[in-house]
Amino acid sequence: MSGPIVIGLDLGGTFIRAGLFHSSGELHGVRQAYMPTRESVQKGLEQIAALVIELTQEHGSAHLTGIGIGATGPIDARRGCIQNPFTLPGWEDVPIVDWLQDRFDLPVLLENDADMAALGEYWQGAGMDVTRLAVVTVGTGIGTACILDGKIYRGLEGVHPEIGHHVIDPSGPLCYCGAKGCWEVLASGTAIARTAHELLQAYPSSILWSKTAGGLEQIHAHMVAEAAKEDDPLAVRVIEQAGRYFSLGLVNLINFFVPEMIVLGGSVMNSLSLFMPFIERTITRHNVMVPATRVRIIPAKLGIHAGLYGAAFCILQKLEMSRYELD
Amino acid sequence: MSGPIVIGLDLGGTFIRAGLFHSSGELHGVRQAYMPTRESVQKGLEQIAALVIELTQEHGSAHLTGIGIGATGPIDARRGCIQNPFTLPGWEDVPIVDWLQDRFDLPVLLENDADMAALGEYWQGAGMDVTRLAVVTVGTGIGTACILDGKIYRGLEGVHPEIGHHVIDPSGPLCYCGAKGCWEVLASGTAIARTAHELLQAYPSSILWSKTAGGLEQIHAHMVAEAAKEDDPLAVRVIEQAGRYFSLGLVNLINFFVPEMIVLGGSVMNSLSLFMPFIERTITRHNVMVPATRVRIIPAKLGIHAGLYGAAFCILQKLEMSRYELD
């Protein structure tokens, strides 16, 4: 394998993923581990380093030129820190970029995971050549990024918008973001698991009882989606509620940006077929002021690897820019 | 007066306004008339032409070089038609641009009124030199435009986003846009008047009874705002409800665009002091994920004339471009 090699990392509230890429866009290997959120941050950093080492040992580290990281936001890109005390408690102000840079003696950069997933889909995925692209990533939270004319849209002081935390129903539950009934607290994977948990007592014959083996805190969005596919009444109700709110959030995204395309990614969107009827119905009902039905809504092509692609693309862009600066 | 002169028009559900501008940005005269919505469209067109003629007769028509129109959206800019059967019924497919072009033998263009108001504030108003500017115009409806790097943001097929119709509370009333509880149906001038109307019977001692002289359909947002300033309990309650929803819409706008500045205009925002406590409280409560409190929220500088400035600026930009094309 000749030419520059980079590693893209995706740090979430649940998993750490790492991918090794050739600059042409080929993915040569992926490693995944649980984020040790209940252990020390140092343990987390060592776990990240271990994945990088495993990948480079397997594929040869001779041409490794940089590491890009996408992480659950908000992040401080300048200081290279993750500033989300809710999803990654204890990581605030930890200089993760500096630490990896010192450890591997390579350029490292950190960006919001939703931005990275969007960039990945723009680079090698479903949104290639789309002028106004929105990418919505539904997992533990709801991350959203808009790519306008090939650039990630940022606001005041370069801040990443937090579309996942826009208010959809002020009578909804309180989110850590300060809002009641934001999109994420109503329709994320966490919201699906929480709602199933809340309603479980009212459904004594739900198959979720056996799936969780009595450990209710084990309920996960994926489990609920699988049960809904088996027509479990509780799971169907939970997915219906989340699906309605999720669709309203998409309608709002369309009202705000009117993108050509919305790409849906993240672990919850592996069950997109469950949500599609709600999305289609809701979009059609709101197709009055803007041509909502002409916005293409498609699944992410890169799946859970979108963030890895984006992180790799982002560090490649930075290395390319540095090269031009040297020329 | 030497140099090019243009006229900016603002067509709403209630008023027609016209302003005569020098290309340097000076406003030399304004005319206003009611939009004759209950009469024929022809009557409306003649009323528009009459205002143009009055202004040019008063200020000299020798240098009049174009007419810009901002109108209540959605509009079809290419065909030069207003396509809003709700606010301006009967005007759908009326070639207003062609009609005025023929009548005055001048270039005419038509854009969304919210875009025009935003452009006006960017040209000569509160938002000069602001990289990411959002302008919210609250009158009969809620119009919003975002100006990014000096350009009006447009979506798919050049469509103007309809941020005023994003859903804030799905348990709210049905809007003509197809949504329940969109921003406009909860917090526009029309919403304020409607809510006051709905609640009036429960407040037999409200001063609104005497102000309307028994004709309840005469209730107007301005009347409610004035009554709230006199601590009328009904009016205070209505403004409080609208203020809360209005503030949530601003929070959502901040979550989506994170603009440097939000400029608030339109007739309802003449009573901004009534709404400011709700805005400040809500923004502060939602200052977690994005630096919401660092977004400057200020009143429009050009007041109800913002749309006129923007319409004038827009036609001047177009004339300037044509001049370059001829060079």
What integer pLDDT is reported at residue A327 of this predicted model?
45
Q: Which of B168, B260, B287 sits opposite A167 (nearest CB)?
A: B168
Closest approach of A80 to chain B, Cα-based (Å)? 17
Q: What is the pLDDT of residues B87-111, one digit of tens each?
A: 888 888 999 999 999 999 999 999 9
What integer pLDDT is reported at residue A214 of this predicted model?
60
Rounded CA separation B162/B121 (Å): 19
Q: Which of B16, B2, B72, B23 is nearest to B312 (CA)?
A: B23
- What residues of chain A lie within 8 A of the CB of B157, using their CB? 291, 294
What integer pLDDT is reported at residue B19 of this predicted model?
97
Rounded CA separation A92/B25 (Å): 49
- What residues of chain B lie within 8 A of the CB of A248, using their CB? 167, 170
The SS3 call for residue A196 is helix
Q: Which of A155, A170, A260 sits opposite B258 (nearest CB)?
A: A155
What does the pLDDT average to over A86-109? 92
Q: Which residues contact A57 (CB under 8 A, 6 or more apart)?
A: none
Q: What is the pLDDT of residues A125-151, one digit of tens each?
A: 999 989 999 999 998 899 999 999 878
* Residue % of chain A over a pLDDT of 70: 95
Q: Give rounded-to-5 percent helix, strand, coil for chain A.
A: 45, 20, 30
Closest approach of B266 to chain A, Cα-based (Å)? 20
Cα B86-B113-B24 angle, rounded to 5 deg: 160
Q: Which residue has the tokens 């027509």?
A: A231
pLDDT above 90: residue B37 = no
Rounded CA separation A197/A312 (Å): 37
- What residues of chain A lie within 8 A of the CB of B177, using their CB? 286, 288-289
HSE of A175 in the Cβ direction (CA atoms, 13 Å)? 32
- What residues of chain A lie within 8 A of the CB of B296, using their CB? none
The H-assigned helical ranges of B16-112 are 41-59, 96-104
ipTM of the complex in this document: 0.83
Closest approach of A21 to chain B, Cα-based (Å)? 32
Find out whether A55 and A62 touch, Cβ atoms under 8 Å. Answer: no
Q: Average per-residue pLDDT in chain B?
A: 91
Look up residue A10 and give its two tokens: 């995706």
What integer pLDDT is reported at residue A322 of this predicted model?
67
Closest approach of A158 to chain B, Cα-based (Å)? 9
Rounded CA separation A181/A184 (Å): 8
Strand extents, DSSP E, B91-194: 108-112, 132-138, 142-148, 151-152
Q: Could you tell me which chain B residue has the CA closest to the CA of A176?
A: B288
What integer pLDDT is reported at residue B327 of this predicted model?
45
* Residues in chain A, overall count: 327
Q: What is the pLDDT of residues A157-184, one digit of tens each?
A: 888 899 999 999 999 999 999 999 999 9
- Give the CA distances from residue B41 to residues A61, A185, B89, B101, in Å, rounded to whole numbers and listed in that order: 74, 48, 9, 17
Q: What is the pLDDT of residues A67-83, one digit of tens each?
A: 999 998 788 888 899 88
Q: Average per-residue pLDDT in chain A?
A: 91
pLDDT interval class at A324 (50, 70, 90)? low
What integer pLDDT is reported at residue B232 of this predicted model?
97
- Give the CA distances from residue A245 to residues A105, B170, B197, in Å, rounded to whole numbers and listed in that order: 45, 9, 31
* Residue % of chain B over a pLDDT of 90: 72
- What residues of chain B lie within 8 A of the CB of A155, using their CB? 132, 257-260, 290
Find out whether A16 and A35 touch, Cβ atoms under 8 Å. Answer: yes
pTM, to two decimals: 0.84
What does the pLDDT average to over A103-117? 92
- Residue B20, beta-bridge partner list: B7, B29
Find out whether B176 and B86 touch, Cβ atoms under 8 Å. Answer: yes
pLDDT above 60: residue B13 = yes
What integer pLDDT is reported at residue B259 of this predicted model?
97
Rounded CA separation A14/A36 (Å): 8
Q: What is the pLDDT of residues B107-147, one digit of tens each?
A: 999 998 889 989 999 999 999 989 999 999 998 899 999 99
